[in-house]
A and B are shown apart, each in its own frame.
Chain A
Amino acid sequence: MSQLQQVKSSHYSLCYWQIGYWQKITLSIWLIALVIIPFADIEIVSFDPFLELTRMVNGLVTPDFFATEYLLQAILQTVNFAIIGVCLGLVLGAPLALIYQNPIVSSCCAFLRAIHEIFWALLFLQVFGLSPITGILAIAIPFAATFARVFHDIINQSSDSPLESIDSRADIISRFTYGKIAQVMPQLMSYTRYRFECALRSSAVLGFIGMPTLGFYMETAFKQGNYSEGAALLIIFIALIGSIRYWCPPKLLGIYLVIACVTLVDIPNVDSNLLVRFISQDILPPALVNVATLAEIQWSSLTTWFSTILSEQAIPGAIATITLALLALAATHFITLSTHAVASKHLCPAPLTWLGRFILLIGRSVPEYILAFIFLMLLGPSMLPAVIALAIHNGCVIAYLAVKQSNTITPQQMQMTRLNQFNYHIMPTIYPNMMALMFYRFEIIVRETAVFGILGIMTLGFYIDSNFSEIRYSNALVLITCTALLNVVIDIISRRLLKFPQTSKTRC
């Protein structure tokens, strides 16, 4: 008898200590975060965060909607940039989706996508100035590359069987539109709608570098301490994003596009000399300017220049970017789990889930960049505000999608408390998908992290921004390229490492 028990218990203990795939992944995320915390700069530098916080909360409860001059103009321009940017992105990206299987096309798209909208804007700002062209192109180019990839994936995943029954003598355009495009039209539409929401966020954020959108007025208000005005702008922005489906049904998009083109602020004439100068001189490394032939190039000074940028700016910036992104990943995991628990109808009673969903709406509506800006004002310049901002925004996005999934699960017909039901049925069901979403978001986290440099955190964006302000365009260009390559490499590594299928089902 005792022998039997022994055998049994040893057998059970073997089973018990097996660590599953997702547990390993979760543990490693947290282990990595714990290891790098000592090297990360996450102290609170602000003199008196609570005083600032009280003032902000005060502002939030007394929003002043009439403080902003040109408020309507700001909203209009935010929407205009987003609409024209998305439409231009569609026009450029949709045809690319058809030839995306070409490795040259797909790697070009991956590169264009990896450069953040703000970096594009900084680049175009030097050529076009504060013209609407800057804002529109900054949105359209990365969006076109994204559309190309996602549309390609969607079309590839559709069934081939309608094509079989179509007369093979029909021309390719007819066969493709009827057999393929018609099949996936709803997915293409809903993805475009989602990207429009993203474009609105990007458009607002472009205000932080001077474009006349909501972000511009928000930054000014917060910097001057007019928290009532800032809060009002933030509320307007959240309402604008939360109500897209009411004010922008797909049928009206054409009309909106016409209105957007008509009401766009005047486009100043592009100074062609400036453009030529920018391309032929400004963006060239110092050693190459005024060099007529290949023989005149001073290779040694070129290599010194390049290695200096690499060792003094690119590598420290990249290390800071990765550190911050990994910390943010762990924090995102925490926020995702906790907000999902609050908003899930399987765990909390109805009134609490409404509150949870409201939090999720706010969290995913406010761009990371604006959140980071607000937390920077509160906590001072360190990595901490960036980590919090990334965690809140991405955590809310993932939790929102997870709640959508978990709410479709029917609870088991068993006598169980809510907590047991949640832990034994709901979480095991949705956890893999949740984690997959989180790793898809990691690419976005890295992209955003780099941009936070503009706010003063020492990531790659910091060096890019300072090079732009010192009019060292060549350096900035090298660093932007490094940033893009870093994104592409991280994307490839995370896909290989986790062996996720290359689908865009969980794109976001």
Chain B
Amino acid sequence: MIIIDNLNLHYDKTAGYNTCKKTGKKETSTQVIFDLSLTINEGEKVAIIGPSGAGKSSLLHHIYQQLQTSAALCSQRQGLVDNLSIYHNIFMGALARHHWLFNLVNLIRPFKQDLHDIAALCQQLELDQPLAKKVDQLSGGQRQRVVLARALYQQQDTFIGDEPFSALDPLMKSRLLDTVLARHKSVIMVVHDRELAITAFDRVIALDKGRLVLDSQQQSIDQQQITALYQTNAVA
């Protein structure tokens, strides 16, 4: 599905979060990914772990840019439109499936079918809020589930998530993860919880300081190795 060969990413300090450039070294940029090679096959469920600042988000956004037409992104920068309702924010996932005229009318008067689908989706994600409520009135965990719902409503084959459950409690986290895994053929997700990464995913990739340090496809997962990864970083 995606083959990455000797990837080097630079983070441009002057620009925003997502402007990683493959080449071209500017004075204002720092390198975040070093010579990274990686192959992800269709149907794989991959977890990316690593201490903060390891370059996980940069790698994930790079992967998303490669797969854009077939993947749904659930970014850490939520990108919710505060002024719109829960319904409309989730509907944004379906914009590509409809004609613009349909989308415009829907903005003024929601269509029954989508209203029904989105209500069912919200129920599955345990989001028991009125659909007409504006998202700026929601709590952090509720907002995160709206973002998740919007990504699911894109109904893509691949799900790319950047810590999509960080504000949720552990039980809900694993329930929602099951939903995400069940609804997508391939999943690539940055996960904070190491236990969850090892138990729920087929394959675990660990990054440290912009380098690939562990890939469970090639080596068996060693719990101690992962713990050490986090500890050395904490010491340094």
Residues on A lying within 8 angstroms of B by beta carbon are 159-171, 173-175, 177-179, 182-186
Contact = CB atoms under 8 A, between A and B. Distances in A.
B160 to A, nearest CB: 11
21 contacts: A162-B80, A164-B73, A164-B75, A165-B78, A165-B92, A165-B150, A167-B72, A167-B95, A167-B154, A171-B95, A173-B103, A174-B96, A174-B100, A178-B81, A178-B103, A179-B92, A182-B83, A182-B88, A183-B82, A184-B83, A185-B83
Contacts of A185: 83
Contacts of B93: 167
Nearest to B71: A167
A161 B82 contact: no
A179 B18 CA distance: 17
Nearest to B18: A164
Contacts of B98: 174
B83 A177 contact: no
Nearest to B68: A168
B107 interface: yes
B79 A170 contact: no
B173 to A, nearest CB: 21
Given A162-B81, A166-B92, A174-B104, 4 more contacts: A162-B92, A165-B78, A167-B96, A174-B103
Contacts of B96: 166-171, 174
B97 to A, nearest CB: 8
Given A178-B92, A178-B95, A178-B107, A165 B75 contact: yes
A163 B150 CA distance: 13
A277 to B, nearest CB: 45
Nearest to B104: A177
Contacts of B95: 166-167, 170-171, 174-175, 178
Given A164-B75, A174-B103, A182-B107, A169 B69 contact: yes
Interchain residue pairs A-B with the least CB separation, the first 6: A161-B79, A170-B95, A170-B96, A173-B100, A167-B96, A174-B103
Contacts of B88: 178, 182
B77 interface: yes
Most A C-beta atoms less than 10 A away, residue of B69, B81, B83, B96:
B81
A160 B74 CA distance: 15
Contacts of B150: 165
B151 interface: yes
Nearest to B74: A165
Contact of A183 (B16, B81, B99): B81
A159 B150 CA distance: 18
A178 B92 CA distance: 7
B213 to A, nearest CB: 29
A165 B151 contact: yes
Nearest to A164: B79
Nearest to A162: B79
Q: Is the interface of A mostly helix, strand, loop or mixed?
A: helix
A86 B152 CA distance: 42
B107 A183 contact: no
Contacts of A174: 95-96, 98, 100, 103-104
A165 B81 CA distance: 11
B84 interface: yes
Contact of B84 (A165, A171, A173, A182): A182
Contacts of A183: 81-83
B100 A171 contact: yes
Contacts of B151: 165
Contacts of A179: 81, 92
B31 to A, nearest CB: 23
A39 to B, nearest CB: 49
A52 to B, nearest CB: 53
Contacts of A170: 95-96
A174 B95 CA distance: 6
Contacts of B9: none
Contacts of B99: 171
B147 interface: yes
A318 to B, nearest CB: 42
Most A C-beta atoms less than 10 A away, residue of B74, B92, B151:
B92
B93 to A, nearest CB: 7
Given A165-B151, A168-B69, A182-B88, A177 B80 contact: no
Given A178-B88, A179-B92, A183-B82, A165 B100 contact: no
A297 to B, nearest CB: 52
Contacts of B154: 167
B102 to A, nearest CB: 9
A182 B108 CA distance: 11
B190 to A, nearest CB: 16
A205 B125 CA distance: 59
Most B C-beta atoms less than 10 A away, residue of A161, A162, A174, A175:
A174
B91 to A, nearest CB: 8
Contacts of A169: 69, 96
Nearest to A160: B16
B104 A186 contact: no
Contacts of B83: 182-186
Contacts of B75: 161, 164-165
Nearest to B75: A165
Contact of B79 (A163, A168, A182): A163
Contacts of A166: 92, 95-96
Interface string B126-138: 0000000000000
Most A C-beta atoms less than 10 A away, residue of B72, B79, B147, B150:
B79
Most B C-beta atoms less than 10 A away, residue of A167, A168, A170, A185:
A167
A287 B143 CA distance: 71
A169 B103 CA distance: 14
Interface in B26-84: 68-69, 72-75, 77-84
B167 to A, nearest CB: 17
B157 to A, nearest CB: 13
Interface string B86-122: 0010011101101110011001000000000000000
Nearest to B154: A167
B174 to A, nearest CB: 24
B3 to A, nearest CB: 21
B57 to A, nearest CB: 13
A239 B150 CA distance: 48
A186 to B, nearest CB: 6
Contacts of B16: 160
A163 B100 CA distance: 15
